[in-house]
Amino acid sequence: MSHLREWAHRLAGTFRRGRSDRDLLEELRVHAQIAAESAQRAGEPVDAATRAAVIRHGAVAQAMEAQRDQRGLPWLADLHGDVRYGLRGLIRDRGLTTVIILLLALGIGSTTAVFTLINALMLRTLPVRAPEELVYLLSHYPGDPRNAGLDWKYYELFRDQNHVFSDFVGTSPAWHLQVATAGTVPEELRGEYVVGRFFPALGLDPATGRLITDEDDRMASADANVAVVSWSYWNRHFNRDPAAVGTRITVNGVSTAVIGVAPRAFTGIIAESKTDVWLPMALARQAKGGVRGVGAIGRLKPGTSIEGARAEISVLNRARNEEIAARGHDARWLLATMEVEPAGAGLSALRDSAFKPLFFLMAGAGLLLLLACTNIASLLVARGATRRREMAVRVSIGAGRSRLVRQVLTESLLLAAIGAAAGLLLAYFGAAALVRILDAVGRHEPLQIDVRPDATVLLFSALAGLGTAIAFGMIPAWQAFAMSPVSCLRDMSGVGEPKSHRRFGQGLVVAQVALSAVLLTTSGLFARYLSDLRHVGLGFNADSVLLVHLNPQGSHLNATVLTARYRELLDRLQGIPGVRSVSLSATTPIAKGSWLRFGHVDGFQEAPDKRRYLFLNAVAPKYFETLGTAVLAGRDFEFQDASRPRVAIVNQAMARYYFPDRSPLGRHVTFDGDSLPYEIVGVVADAKYESLHEPAPRTVYLNAFQEGQVQSHFAIRTHVPPLSVLRPVRRAIDDVVRPVRLESVTTLTDQMDASIVLERTLAGLSGVFGAMGGLLAAMGLYGLLAYTVARRRREIGVRMALGATRANVVRVVAGSALAWVLVGLGLGAPAAIWSQRFAAAMVENLPINDPLPVAFSILAMTVVAIVAAYVPARRAARVQPVEVLRHE
């Protein structure tokens, strides 16, 4: 207690000063005077008495110092002083400070941005009871991404037959709900259908009213509908009025009673989106087509491990697989698995696909941060060299080593703190941009990820800041520690610096070269990968193709009329100047969605588990000519096929598999559930179908003008830039097929790029990381060379006076730059090769063991070395021996 009081006093004394210095001094003076007087009384002369008093009682100044230490907290006062002194220093070296803070903000910002997403998708736990006990089921069909949606009847199968879950509940998304409170315009919201046990299983309590129960789920119907709304909806529309409970809202035109409000913290079970309305599952089950895509969430019984649940679910799953395989004639379903994953952080369709790219980005951002640290360290070391004089003065007037080290560390921490704060701001925008990119990758519902930093993110950036401060502050601190007054005073004469310091500088540059070699290799790897994706093995020519999608829905034209109009439109489009060739099809290459059917070929026997889907397309004549896919045998479709028996064209992959040693022409293919066969009349080259990542599947093309299969995707190959013919194309559409709407227009290259947004983003970001790396290495190299040349001016002058030519001097400077780069590359190349493996593990189909990216990074670093060496080398060559010697 009394100690606490002392510390409170001293804390106050540190800032507000307890007793004033004058008061302290006065007391000591009185003491000294009385002491001197008493000595005088003992008969000593005045001078001697005063001296004796000082000897006996100590000097006033020292006692004052001791008093001051007791009055406040000296280390806190020192820290206060260090911070003020440090800030003054940072403001004085404004340029340097700005550069360092920018580097830090970039490094910390990019790592924190990536971490924000990792946190939101994988770490942030749901605000529910015991989230660690929650798991969810993921169905995995071979070759497809995992999928959390089950058919209702299989949800029931797992619910009723498992022994591992104390609760097993289902939820199904309700997208695009039109929700309106009384008298307002409906707004589009995301909802969830949930079973009655959903809220109790999660252990949630309502903010007000009550939550959906089993009773609600049993009773709900279009006439007696109930809903729970989110806290945010309640706040927005009811201003948090408890009377909202019992009022009615309209959901998709159905009057619905609001029975309660979900707790504020709970924004839904899906990690990457927010739910505003929960409705009883019964409504979804009563709807036409029933409910599909039920997310199944289980709460593990006490003592049951997730492995136990996996074992049981996989046994139960066999029954499901056999049923689906038998129903769909797809034996591959027998290989499908049902996987169990933790759901404590929410259900996520994005987690699987985003995990590796995010991890990869984290590695890149981390490397960049490390590189920034080495750069900052070398900047600080260089500044340390100019501050040696100041340090020397402080050491010689008695500053302790630990004091100097503390000062230097305080400065590093200050820089890191400002950098981390700026980084956090950057991370907010960076994470939002990443969310938009992930959103564009598509194939899942629109993302609503909260990227505002929470405690975890703040902790992460604080740790990143602290880590970097230690990483880049260590070396200057060590330099301060190693400083002895003697060497400092010697240094003040300007004679050289310890060899160890120079080694540090060189070591840092070597490390920078090695790190940026890794970054550059990775960016080279991605550039190569992207170029391969866009150009290798496409099977069609993507340049100069305009894709126009029409929508005949609502035009009330029957198939016959539409077919005639479309044929007329093809002719009209063909006549537009600049257009080379026009066709139409059911789908275009690398568009989203596939048309799949099982089929068999006369005389070809295959084991059920070898059967694969056939990929279909219905195309008009000249489709292959328009897309640039070669017709290898037989003929193209003709409009006259309309009145002939069914015909088909197959690709090489199909021909190779079914007709390995004979011509497919004249053979027949029949689709399951279809009686009439198609006669194969042509073979075309393999062309990628839905994905740039997959080689061409077995593809069957049907004639779009046979049997009235009208299709509305027009492809137009041009001589001119494809978008330049858009205006006449629109006019032709207006003139010929009037009520039919123009749905969308794009080019084939854009459509391809849209399918590889993630790859392009990774390539772009790794390109940025690589360029940044090269730039930072160049800065480091330039700094070290410029410093070396400045320091060795005299030596260069002497050498030149003794007969060295300018070429010799340039060679020496450029030589040392190249030497450092070579050492850096020697260290960086194995790391770069390893980093390729790492990247390949993160991103499928990366071309590893490709020497080109490594060669690219070596070339780039050599260029960097030459550029960085140019100015210092020229400066060295301009040294005038006479001037240097006269200066001495």
Partner 1 sequence: MANERLPKADVLQGTLDLMVLRTLSTIGPLHGYALSARLEQASGGAIQLNMGTLYPALMRLEQRRFVRAEWRVTDTSRKARFYSITAAGRRQLAAKQAEWDQMAAIIHTLQHNLG
Binding site for partner 1 (CB under 8 A): 2-3, 5-6, 9-10, 18, 24, 27-28, 30-35, 38, 54-60, 62-63, 65-67, 69-71
Calpha distance 453→456 (Å, rounded): 8
Q: How far is the CB of 40 from partner 1 (least distance, A)?
A: 13
- CB nearer to partner 1: give 50 or 857: 50
Judge contact between 649 and 684, C-beta under 8 A.
Answer: yes
- Cα 721 off chain centre by: 34
- CB nearer to partner 1: give 55 or 397: 55
Q: How far is the CB of 7 from partner 1 (least distance, A)?
A: 8
For the CA atoms of 546, 552, 557, 560, the dihedral, rounded to the nearest 10 degrees, stands at 60
Calpha distance 435→447 (Å, rounded): 7
Q: How far is the CB of 69 from partner 1 (least distance, A)?
A: 7
Calpha distance 652→654 (Å, rounded): 5
Structure tokens belonging to residue 779: 């800065």
Calpha distance 386→382 (Å, rounded): 7
- CB nearer to partner 1: give 51 or 811: 51
- CB nearer to partner 1: give 11 or 130: 11
- CB nearer to partner 1: give 59 or 596: 59
Q: How far is the CB of 306 from partner 1 (least distance, A)?
A: 57
CA distances from 1 to 70, 72, 74 (A): 18, 18, 21
Segment 13-16 long-range contacts (CB within 8 Å, at least 24 positions apart): 13/71, 13/72, 13/73, 14/72, 14/73, 14/76, 14/77, 14/80, 15/80
Structure tokens belonging to residue 332: 């591959």
- Cα 731 off chain centre by: 43
Contact residues for 287 (Cβ-Cβ < 8 A; gap 6+): none
Helix (H) or strand (E) holding 99: helix 94-118
User: Which of 564, 546, 547, 584 has its CA nearest to residue 737?
Assistant: 564
- CB nearer to partner 1: give 28 or 447: 28
Judge contact between 591 and 627, C-beta under 8 A.
Answer: no
Taken in order 258, 262, 267, 271, the sign of the CA dihedral is negative
Q: CB 231: neighbour CB atoms within 10 A?
A: 19
- CB nearer to partner 1: give 73 or 408: 73
Helix (H) or strand (E) holding 112: helix 94-118
- CB nearer to partner 1: give 29 or 693: 29
Q: How far is the CB of 70 from partner 1 (least distance, A)?
A: 4
Q: How far is the CB of 105 from partner 1 (least distance, A)?
A: 44
CA angle 860, 772, 778 (to 5 degrees): 55
Helix axes 748-755, 757-791, angle to 10 degrees: 80
- CB nearer to partner 1: give 5 or 92: 5
What is the DSSP code string of 805-820? -HHHHHHHHHHHHHHH
In the three-class reduction of DSSP (H, G, I as helix; E, B as strand; rest coil), residue 53 is classed as helix
- Cα 288 off chain centre by: 40
Q: How far is the CB of 301 from partner 1 (least distance, A)?
A: 58
Q: How far is the CB of 58 from partner 1 (least distance, A)?
A: 4
**Based on the number of CB atoms within 10 Å of its own CB, is 741 exposed (0-12), middle (13-18) or buried (19 or more)?**
middle
Q: How far is the CB of 53 from partner 1 (least distance, A)?
A: 10
In the three-class reduction of DSSP (H, G, I as helix; E, B as strand; rest coil), residue 25 is classed as helix
Q: How far is the CB of 80 from partner 1 (least distance, A)?
A: 20
Q: How far is the CB of 17 from partner 1 (least distance, A)?
A: 13
Enumerate the β-bridge partners of residue 278.
192, 228
Q: How far is the CB of 6 from partner 1 (least distance, A)?
A: 4
Judge contact between 331 and 325, C-beta under 8 A.
Answer: yes
Between strands 295-300 and 614-619, the pairing is: unpaired
Alpha helices for 659-725 (secondary structure H): none
Q: How far is the CB of 16 from partner 1 (least distance, A)?
A: 14
Q: How far is the CB of 10 from partner 1 (least distance, A)?
A: 7
Q: What is the CA radius of gyration of the chain?
A: 38
- CB nearer to partner 1: give 55 or 536: 55
Calpha distance 266→284 (Å, rounded): 22
- CB nearer to partner 1: give 69 or 205: 69
Calpha distance 52→44 (Å, rounded): 9
Q: How far is the CB of 865 from partner 1 (least distance, A)?
A: 59
- CB nearer to partner 1: give 21 or 694: 21
- CB nearer to partner 1: give 27 or 750: 27
Q: How far is the CB of 406 from partner 1 (least distance, A)?
A: 23
- CB nearer to partner 1: give 34 or 819: 34
- CB nearer to partner 1: give 10 or 600: 10
CA atoms within 13 A on the CB side of 342: 13
Q: How far is the CB of 81 from partner 1 (least distance, A)?
A: 21
- CB nearer to partner 1: give 68 or 248: 68
- CB nearer to partner 1: give 62 or 845: 62
- CB nearer to partner 1: give 31 or 874: 31
Enumerate the β-bridge partners of residue 716.
546, 582
Q: How far is the CB of 54 from partner 1 (least distance, A)?
A: 8
What is the DSSP code string of 591-654? -S---EE-EEETT----GGG--PEEEEEE-TTHHHHHTPPEEEE----GGGGGSS-EEEEEHHH
